[in-house]
């Protein structure tokens, strides 16, 4: 696991794609997780968090297939501090995604609430069930064509933290994150071996007033696709 930033209070790692942050109760088999690595290397974190038995130190999460910056609290005091920063949207997160097609506007803001599709846990902009405001800012960094299809590298800043927000919003504007079957369909899932979403950076103010900037460079699978 690559450590990007470490202090006595907080740890930031570059989570690889394909690794769960923590296991879930419904899982029948054990998989490697960030939490397992964390407990092994920072055993004192077992006392930190809202649910330290299952999610010690975990303030936020990335989907299994999403790579990039993940911040972890190493003390209860800092856990509460980071939790408040996330709740008040005081942490700036920047993602990169490789999307199918290209947005009609090269940059813009998607401002539409996200709810839950009835009878499922799938998120959608077409349901009022538990709908919450969601705002996503994006800009197209590069476009290219391969085998008759157009792809885009998109820089994304979510201003809210809804589950699957980026994936839902990009699909809503007709540019699903490639590799994402849940929101882009089976044909889209075949475009990549995982959904191509990467948390590139996080910025926030430390308790001592210093500005913290943490960056995880684009992984190899991103670079290969962008060069195609």
Helices first, then strands: H and E counts in the chain: 6, 11
Q: Which residues are CB-contacts of 140 (< 8 A; sequence separation ≥ 6)?
A: 102, 103, 106, 107, 152, 153, 154, 155
R_g of the chain computed on alpha carbons: 18
Catalytic positions, please?
Answer: 63
Give the integer Cα–Cα distance in Å for 72 and 79: 8
Give the integer Cα–Cα distance in Å for 68 and 79: 20
From residue 97, alpha-carbon distances to 19, 140, 198, 202 in Å are 18, 10, 6, 16
SS3 203: strand
Give the integer Cα–Cα distance in Å for 208 and 90: 15
């Amino acid at each position: 696991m690559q450590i990007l930033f470490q202090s006595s209070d907080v740890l930031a790692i570059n989570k690889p794609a394909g690794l769960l942050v923590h296991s879930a109760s419904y899982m029948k088999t054990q998989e490697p997780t960030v939490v397992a690595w964390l407990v092994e290397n920072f055993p004192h974190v077992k006392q930190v968090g809202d649910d330290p038995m299952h999610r010690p130190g975990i303030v936020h999460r990335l989907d299994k297939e999403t790579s990039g910056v993940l911040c972890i609290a190493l003390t209860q005091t800092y856990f509460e501090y980071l939790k408040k920063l996330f709740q008040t949207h005081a942490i700036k997160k920047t993602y990169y995604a490789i999307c199918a097609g290209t947005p009609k506007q090269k940059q813009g803001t998607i401002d539409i609430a996200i709810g839950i599709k009835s009878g499922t846990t799938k998120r959608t902009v077409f349901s009022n069930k538990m709908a919450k405001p969601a705002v996503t800012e994006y800009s197209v960094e590069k476009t290219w064509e391969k085998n008759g299809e157009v792809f885009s590298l998109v820089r994304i800043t979510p201003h809210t933290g809804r589950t699957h927000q980026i994936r839902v919003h990009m699909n809503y504007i007709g540019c699903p994150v490639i590799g994402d079957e849940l929101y882009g369909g089976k044909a889209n899932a075949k475009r990549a071996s995982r959904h191509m979403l990467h948390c590139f950076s996080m910025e926030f103010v430390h308790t001592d007033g210093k500005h913290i900037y943490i960056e995880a460079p684009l992984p190899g699978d991103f670079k290969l696709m962008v060069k195609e």
